[in-house]
Structure 1
Amino acid sequence: MIQTQAFSQTNPTVKLFVITNKNGVCAKITNYGAILTSLKLPLKSEDREVVLGFDSLEDYQSEVYLKDYPYFGAIIGRFANRINQGKVTIAGKGIQLPTNHGKHLLHGGHSGFDKQIWEAEILSESKLQLSLHSKDGDQNFPGNMKINVIYELNNDNELAIYYSATCDKTCPINLTSHTYFNFTGGKENILNHELQIDSDKIIETNYELIPTGNFAEVKNSTYDFNSKKKLNRDIAIIENYDDCYVLKTEGETLMKVAELYEEKSNIRMDISTDFAGLQVYTGKFINVERNDKFGPFSGIALETQDFPDAPNQTNFPHGLIHPGEVYEHQTRYQFHF
């Protein structure tokens, strides 16, 4: 069942869509930024909130939130993660994209998909489609790009996100959901959560998190999550995970790639995807002023996506979309509780 509610005191075009399955799992999505604002699981003790988000459009547009903008729950595009100095070359032509993170492009620029109002269509009792037309020259990205994102909440307690896009010019593309998870309902940070990732390599980056073009083996290192381990085990050494894990999907095959588990709540989330990478960000720099609930390590972002800076890395796949192609990916989050 999908219900439609108001989400703003001032903008009637921004709505909240509430999807509830037969088990009482409830997902809330707004057409502003295609944001997953809430995901509640019906535990015996309470309906447990397991993602970070707000209750109104005004909260997402407030100065205190945007100052250290953590992109809670948003769909990111046209290009998630980083592009080195915001520069790409397509067919021999250099293109300068916005540099909104120091001298680099991050998560689509100053006004990416996360800040746009999407068209919404209820497809069924469990499916919501959000659509966006990004015009040629939008933040200097080439081509008219059409994007569809479908959220589906099924009765197997699985939230699926389906991505598709076309463009009439060759253009960088990398879409993701920037949802943060915390299975304690905000009572604790995420450092006692246990994470497992089926990955042998991460993308090597410099100190600004720009890829070097190389891959680093994780076996027996502090980056190794092939066996489930608590996030706090190596955090004193790492300080903060913000790394792209290379998945065995090869960007084509849907498969289970990761698990997140929290012992006290006994909540486990399985992540399946056909994206090539999984960006793990443990949220050290989350800082929403005057809101104690949203501080460092208050959530972990597990962003299924393709590789950062892919248009500038000859050995990275999936960095561009070409005319006549259809960009298609999906990610599924299944909850056990």
Structure 2
Amino acid sequence: MEVVGVYQGQKVVRYVLQTATGYQLVVLNYGATIVKFLTPDKDGKFKNIIVASEDVAEYFDNAPKWGAAIGPVAGRIAGGKVTIDGKDYQLEQNLLGHHLHSGSIGFSETVFKVSDLQENSITFYSEKADRIGNYPGNLKTWISYTLSDTGALTIDYKITTDKATIVNPTNHSYFNLTGDFRTTILDHKLQLATKALAAIDQTGVPTGELVKDSAALELIRRGIKISELFQEEPFKTAGGIDHPFVLNDTATIKVVLSEATTGRTLSVTTTSPAMVIYTSNGYDNKTSLNAEKPIVHNGIALETQILPDAIHHEGFGDIILAAGKTFRSQTIYQAGLLQE
């Protein structure tokens, strides 16, 4: 562990998890942020496959939320309005009149404590008081990262509350299997076990419609190069993917991402019913990565969760956590290699 910065008077500490087989995970207590996930290519050369900066200050309050834990609720909530047990709550409207990624009080801007640290695992812990950000309930959160000798990165979430509230966490790592973040992920191949795509409006909020069949869905189910997928609607008009998908609950592996030049693959299994995929479709002028403006499509986020804005759409899933109950979810990102 190493102190690498200060955020709002609190020390920002970097932790390194290392396996005997060479895999490495580097995380910050700020945002429970993943900054490095080192995996080997077909020649055995290890590189970081998480889009990352060497300057910790670039992580503070950054719009892309590089590698950060997102919560208590990921994604958009229309108008920032929620009703829980008959009571209305107005949440921060931080994007186009909507509530995105829990606003300014989210996990991504939280300096976590460490409740457990082992050679290959770490657990971050935080508490948020009732009505912080106007979220009801005293919330306790544990986020655990475990790195296996075989290159599996497991993320476990555990959240409790003393008052009914809303919970739907995820992780916001951007993957680029080349390990070169000045290149795009357009040549990566993406295969997704999905039952449907949740249609969204121009502000990125789900409309409530679930599209079960389309040319794009058929291609992504079979596996397709991302550049080719971008030629299909709705991704062509959107300038990339920033969409929620319902995962196929009969498939064990939900996603396989691969890159032919390095031979690297990344497969995803999860207990979550849905995934938001985002292909880094644009950056504001305030965002920098290693002192440069990042290029468009330099990474792909595979955000496992319940469908965004589920609080407003029947059949989207239940994000309400009752008092005294515990939310749990698990996602495993498994590094691998293409079979010759």
Establish whether TM, by shorter chain, passes 0.5: yes
Query: Alpha-carbon deviation of 1:255?
Result: 2.9
What do the CA deviations read for 1:298-317 (whole angstroms, capped 9, x no partner)? 10111011111111222221
Q: Could you tell me which of 201, 206, 221 is aligned with 1:206? A: 201
Aligned-residue offset at 1:236: 4.0
State the secondary structure of the residue aligned to 1:70: coil
Structure 2: runs of 5 or more not aligned: none
Is residue 154 from structure 1 mapped to residue 148 from structure 2 by the alignment?
yes
Equivalent residues of 1:309, 1:319 under 8 A apart = no
Q: Which amino acid aligns with 1:258?
A: V
Return the offset for 1:285. 1.2
Shift of 1:27: 0.6
One-letter amino acid of the counterpart of residue 165, structure 2 = C
User: In 2, distance between residues paired with 1:128 and 1:162?
Assistant: 10
Partner of 2:52: 53
Amino acid at match of 2:50: V
| TM-score, with structure 2 as normaliser | 0.90
Which residue is equivalent to 1:88? 82
Question: CA shift at 1:45, angstroms?
Answer: 6.7
CA drift of 1:141 comes to: 0.4
Whole-Å Cα distance in 1 between the matches of residues 24 and 283 of structure 2?
A: 25
Aligned to 2:190: 195
Deviation, 1:110, is 2.1
Q: Point out the more displaced range, 127-136 or 38-47.
A: 38-47
- Residue among 76, 99, 114 paired with 2:70: 76
* 1:152 partner letter: T
| Structure 1 stretches lacking a partner, 5+ long | none
3-state SS of 2:58 partner:
helix
Counterpart residue type for residue 211 of structure 2: A
2:108 matched residue in structure 1 = 114
Q: Residues 54-106 of structure 1: CA distance to partner in whole angstroms, max 9, x if unpaired?
A: 234322127xxx3xx10100000111000000001112221100000110000
Aligned to 1:221: 216
Structure 1 residues 57 and 289, CA gap change in structure 2 (3 angstroms): closer
**C-alpha distance in 1, partners of 2:333/2:152?**
5
Could you list the per-position Cα deviations for residues 115-143 of structure 1 after superposition, in whole angstroms to 9, with x for gaps in the alignment?
A: 11101133432110001101101100000
8 Å contact from structure 2 (residues 270, 304) kept in 1: yes
Cα distance in 2 for partners of 1:109, 1:126 equals 31
Alpha-carbon distance, 1:286 to partner? 3.2
- The 5 A counterparts of 1:236-255 are 236-237=231-232, 238=236, 239-249=239-249, 255=252
For 1:82, the aligned partner's letter is R
Aligned match of 2:96: 102
Deviates more, 1:256-265 or 1:34-43: 34-43
| Contact 1:33–1:115, Cα closer than 8 Å, also in 2 | yes
Give how far 1:46 is off.
3.9
User: What is the percentage of aligned positions where both structures have the same residue?
Assistant: 28
Report the CA distance between 1:219 and its aligned residue: 4.1
Determine the structure 2 residue equivalent to 1:314.
314
Tell me what 1:298 maps to.
298
Partner of 1:124: 118
Secondary structure (helix, strand or coil) at the match of 1:314 reads: coil
Residue type at the aligned position of 1:231: I
After TM superposition, give the deviation of residue 9 of structure 1 in Å.
6.3
Task: Tell me how far apart the structure 1 counterparts of residues 55 and 214 of structure 2 sit (CA, whole Å).
Answer: 43
2:328 is matched with 328
Residues 276-308 of structure 1, C-alpha deviation per residue, up to 9 Å, x if partnerless?
A: 111011111135348447221010111011111
Matches within 5 A, 1:125-140: 125-140=119-134
Query: Taking structure 1 as reference, are residues 192 and 125 closer, same or farther at Cα in structure 2, changes over 3 Å only?
Result: same
Q: Is the 8 A contact 1:321 1:327 kept in 2?
A: yes
> SS at 1:324's partner residue?
coil
Deviates further, 14-23 or 39-48: 39-48
Could you tell me whether the CA contact under 8 Å between 2:269 and 2:332 is conserved in 1?
yes
Task: Give the aligned partner of residue 28 of structure 2.
Answer: 30
**CA 273–12 in structure 1, closer or farther in 2 if over 3 Å, else same:** same
- Equivalent residue pairs, number: 326
The 2-side partners of 1:199 and 1:123 are apart by 35
Match of 1:156, SS state, is: coil
Which range is displaced more, 200-209 or 154-163? 200-209
Q: Does 2:261 correspond to 1:267?
A: no
Sort the Cα spacing of 1:223 and 1:84 in 2 relative to 1 into closer, same or farther, 3 A. farther
Distance 1:234 1:157 in 2: 28
Q: 1:9 to 1:116 in 2, by over 3 A?
A: closer
Aligned to 1:174: 168
The answer as to whether partners of 1:40 and 1:50 remain within 8 angstroms in 2 is: yes
Root-mean-square deviation (CA), in Å? 2.0
Distance in 2, Cα, partners of 1:254 & 1:79: 25
Inter-CA distance 307–12: structure 2 relative to 1 (3 Å threshold): closer
Counterparts of 1:254 and 1:90, CA distance in 2: 33
Code of the residue aligned with 1:214 in structure 2: it is E
Structure 1 window deviating more from structure 2 (203-212 vs 29-38): it is 203-212
Note closer, same or farther for the CA distance 1:221–1:12 as it changes in structure 2 (3 Å cut): closer
- In structure 2, the residue matched to 1:232 is 227
2:152/2:334 contact within 8 Å kept: yes
Q: Which moved more, 1:306-315 or 1:137-146?
A: 306-315
